[in-house]
Structure 1
Amino acid sequence: MAVPGAEAAPGAPGEGTWGLLDTSAALATARSRPDVVRLLLVAGRRLAGASAAGVVLLPEPRPDSTAAPGAGALRWTDAAPAGPGTPVDDADRLPEVVAARTGRVVAAVSPHGVARRFPGLAAEGVAAAAAMPLRCHGTVVGALGLRWAGAAGPEAGPLLEALASMAGQALDRLAAEAERAAVLAEVRGARDRLAVLAEVGRVLAPTAPARPTADVTEEEGAEWAERAVGALAGAVVPTLADWSVLLLVDEAGRWRPSGAAHRDAGRTAEVVALARLLGSGPAPGPRVGESLAALRANVTDQVTDAEIDATLPDPRTAAAFRALHPGAGMVLPLVVRGRAVGTLTLVREPASGPFSAAEVEAATEVARRAGIAVDAAVLFRAQKRLAEGLQRSLLTPPPRLPGLDVAVRYEPASRRAEVGGDWYDVLVQPSGSPLVVIGDVMGHDVEAAAGMGQLRGLLRGIAYTTDEPPDEVLRRTDEAMHGLGLGTTATAVVARLDELPGGGRRLVWSNAGHPPPVVLGADGTARIASGDHDLLLGVDHGSERTPQSLRLVRGDVLVLATDGLVERRDQDVDTGMARLVQVLSEQPPEVRRSAQRLCDAVLEGCAPAVREDDVALVAVRVR
């Protein structure tokens, strides 16, 4: 649009630098595009001595694709051809219109030039005219034009350039502020929706009880996730709905209530009663069925009586639904692996209005996350069953050994399934010497447990068939792992207790990168069996293994443990080993005389209540 200049008398030319500084300061604080226009009109007349000024602002800025190189420099000549493809027709009677359309400087600085280019202006007595495009972020957004009744002074060209440049900077700033305001408005709207999703994330965050997973039944583990899903009914009220109901489908295909909430706490009992009716009555009607079959949200701006009767065939359920004054409604399926396992129903009273597209999107995300949580419960059941089977098959009780009291413990990580990569083993070699093994396969999942099973069986077979000492057992195991392509890395200690003439045992062991053995003496003093630590199993199949030995007397106890007992995020291995030595040294004689009681005391004194890692523990007391 063209914004005409005020027809005030021209100012005296030559105000120069001070006038430009004042104009620059005023443009820097302009709060709107009209403010910029007014300042340009005044400054163009006052500073450049123009008889009139005009500003054109385009309704939609266009890319400056037609400006030829160097076209932004003002040239005081009568010949200023338009760029390719942008002819100037007779309708363009003002220089600023031509400059805005073409993105080029326009100048007619003599009466002859004005008469040739702009005859209408010549008829009005204009002797010189010029216009400069205004650019914002490199895009032409308009133009500033000046007209003189007499000859334009030599300073007019630089002043016009300077004014156009300052105006462009001001328009840049205003555009950035407008863009920032739009972004902030969008952020505020998104923030409200994200607040709901953040609350959903908090509700669905896994909260296992502070006790070992081994003590939790299969159903208890699955119920943690399902209780969290049920709490979503409250998390979406009142931000997304006035009341909500969450139903789940069990393995037998029966609906059962999982959660219900109302924005008015005094009416929550009504929604809970409705949820129970929905769970005990006939299956929901076709509208809910369509949503479940399509695995997408079903949204209505106003729930009608006909829809209630069609969806809820049970009269008591329909009456309970109507009593809650439904307006807009939304049914969202909870999807697990391509099938619906429940629904989240959101309802608004008529005064709250319909759901917006953003609210439908947020509610859909809530339902998606709920489906993931239900899936977690299903996976927990499956993984726990598998883990229990692995534990029963791999972690067998130790044999009875003459002259030795043996106790073993395996405690899984508190927040995982039951088996990881830790293991123990106790066997008797053909020579009659007992062999004790403890190890830890890298990893904390069922794959690690499977690798542990392979490695345990491999080492056990080598130890029995070769009847070799611990260092040779580890060396052969490493070679077999390489030859068989067993892609596993593990730590391990293999210890043999050879009977000595006259009593006692000779302990011979070899250590593949595992926490060292600890010996609790008959006198109650515990010490770490110092010695070399060789490479882990699975790192270098050609490495030699170092044998180490010491003598155990009657009443001494050999203690072997995995790093889950002595290492965690806030405690390094050395600190944990020192703590183990301290706990062992503090035990009274009646505890030291029982390997079983000693294992219990060690777990109580060293293992945290919520374990981050599995713990395997073996205690062998010489009798």
Structure 2
Amino acid sequence: MSSQVLRSAQPIFLPHFVLEDYRAAVDDERLRNLALPNIHSVMVVPLMARGSVFGTLSLTRDQTHEAYTADDLLLAEDIAERAAFALDNALLLAEARIARAIAESDQRRLRVLADVSQQLATVTTDIDRLFYTVTACIATTIGDLCALRLLSPDGAGLLTTQIAHPNPAAHRFMNELGRLPQAMDESYTKAVIEHAQVVRIATVPETIRAQLPQRYLPYIDRFGIASLLIVPLIVRGRVIGSLTLVRDRGGAPFRRVGEFNKVLLPDNLSCNPG
């Protein structure tokens, strides 16, 4: 019945509903065998907004109640109209909030990119300054931890080149950990370096501890890890390292990989560590 109302936008009014007649008229075997209460009166009215039907309101009465009347139908249509208006307003409000959130996210991304571009505009061939600028800007605008790692000369792993964190204690903590090289088979390094893949874990589960090197566990215990994003660093089409972003305990998830799907560095820079 609801599908008929959705198609026609007209109510169905069956004050004296006969269940067996309905079952005989239904093609779907599942509906014919459906165990329905002992109903004897039915109304189905459309929910309409802005000229379109987006749902239905179904009402039934069993044999312990009187059959629906024409006045009942008018009341049901009035209730459906008010309900549809309220639902449509709620949907419009939700859509507006989503659109506003997307717009704010896009504006934030553009501000970050503009900030990075403005700061990089002053960098020529000073690679150390470039890396410091990139990590510091990302850590303060996107947060929290930003670690830049480059391939070692022998290509066997990654060497931490620059670390930034707005929290001085966390910064010192990671600087100590960053002195050790990161092997190519550690956690997600291979996927990022060999396949230029983005690794994003929007909400980091507790089981992440088993996938990370033991040396990072003290940092996780103290500062937590809410969300993780690792993107490749690319120069002249070649992956030369990675940029790791971590939001500490309580931080919002990295929801859109589009914020950072790769980091392209100026072609005129020499990117060999050391």
TM range (shorter): 0.5 to 0.7
Q: Would the alpha carbon gap of residues 272 and 75 (structure 1) be closer, same or farther in structure 2, given more than 3 Å must change?
A: closer
Which residue number corresponds to residue 290 of structure 1?
A: 190
Which residue number corresponds to residue 213 of structure 2?
A: 308
Task: Give the SS at the match of 2:213.
Answer: helix
Deviations 1:236-282 (A, max 9, x none): 44676442222345999696766532232x4376268448x54xx64
Which residue number corresponds to residue 116 of structure 2?
A: 204
Does residue 1:343 correspond to 2:246, yes or no? no
User: What CA distance in whole angstroms lies between the structure 1 residues aligned with 2:243 and 2:66?
Assistant: 78
Deviations 1:28-80 (A, max 9, x none): xxxxxxxxxxxxxxxxxxxxxxxxxxxxxxxxxx8524789697365888899
Does residue 1:134 correspond to 2:45, yes or no? yes
Which residue number corresponds to residue 143 of structure 1?
A: 59
**Code of the aligned partner of 1:308:** P
**Code of the aligned partner of 1:72:** P
Does residue 1:94 correspond to 2:5, yes or no? no
Which residue number corresponds to residue 272 of structure 2?
A: none
Which residue number corresponds to residue 11 of structure 2?
A: 72
Shift of 1:133: 1.0
Larger-gyration structure (1/2): 1
Q: TM-score, structure 1 length as denominator?
A: 0.31
Task: Give the SS at the match of 1:173.
Answer: helix
Matches within 5 A, 1:318-333: 322=218, 325=222, 327-328=224-225, 330=228, 332-333=230-231
Does residue 1:167 correspond to 2:72, yes or no? no
Q: Would the alpha carbon gap of residues 174 and 67 (structure 1) be closer, same or farther in structure 2, given more than 3 Å must change?
A: closer
Q: Would the alpha carbon gap of residues 204 and 178 (structure 1) be closer, same or farther in structure 2, given more than 3 Å must change?
A: same
Which residue number corresponds to residue 262 of structure 1?
A: 165
Which residue number corresponds to residue 365 of structure 1?
A: 258
Task: Give the SS at the match of 2:38.
Answer: coil
Task: Give the SS at the match of 1:260.
Answer: strand
Matches within 5 A, 1:233-244: 233-237=135-139, 241-244=143-146
Gaps of 5+ in 1: 1-61, 100-131, 210-219, 310-317, 382-623
Matches within 5 A, 1:585-604: none
Gaps of 5+ in 2: 270-274
Task: Give the SS at the match of 1:352.
Answer: coil
**Code of the aligned partner of 1:204:** V
Deviations 1:122-141 (A, max 9, x none): xxxxxxxxxx2132243323
User: What CA distance in whole angstroms lies between the structure 2 residues aligned with 1:147 and 1:135?
Assistant: 25
User: What CA distance in whole angstroms lies between the structure 1 residues aligned with 2:67 and 2:211?
Assistant: 83
User: What CA distance in whole angstroms lies between the structure 1 residues aligned with 2:8 and 2:73?
Assistant: 16
User: What CA distance in whole angstroms lies between the structure 2 residues aligned with 1:143 and 1:151?
Assistant: 11
Matches within 5 A, 1:412-451: none
Q: Would the alpha carbon gap of residues 306 and 78 (structure 1) be closer, same or farther in structure 2, given more than 3 Å must change?
A: closer
Task: Give the SS at the match of 1:134.
Answer: strand
Q: TM-score, structure 2 length as denominator?
A: 0.60
Q: Would the alpha carbon gap of residues 135 and 234 (structure 1) be closer, same or farther in structure 2, given more than 3 Å must change?
A: farther
- 1:352 aligned residue (225, 233, 250): 250
Task: Give the SS at the match of 2:263.
Answer: helix
User: What CA distance in whole angstroms lies between the structure 2 residues aligned with 1:334 and 1:70?
Assistant: 54
Which residue number corresponds to residue 105 of structure 1?
A: none
Q: Would the alpha carbon gap of residues 256 and 200 (structure 1) be closer, same or farther in structure 2, given more than 3 Å must change?
A: farther
Deviations 1:84-135 (A, max 9, x none): 4366989442345xx3xxxxxxxxxxxxxxxxxxxxxxxxxxxxxxxx2132
User: What CA distance in whole angstroms lies between the structure 2 residues aligned with 1:150 and 1:65?
Assistant: 25
User: What CA distance in whole angstroms lies between the structure 1 residues aligned with 2:143 and 2:259?
Assistant: 13
Task: Give the SS at the match of 1:286.
Answer: coil
Shift of 1:164: 2.4
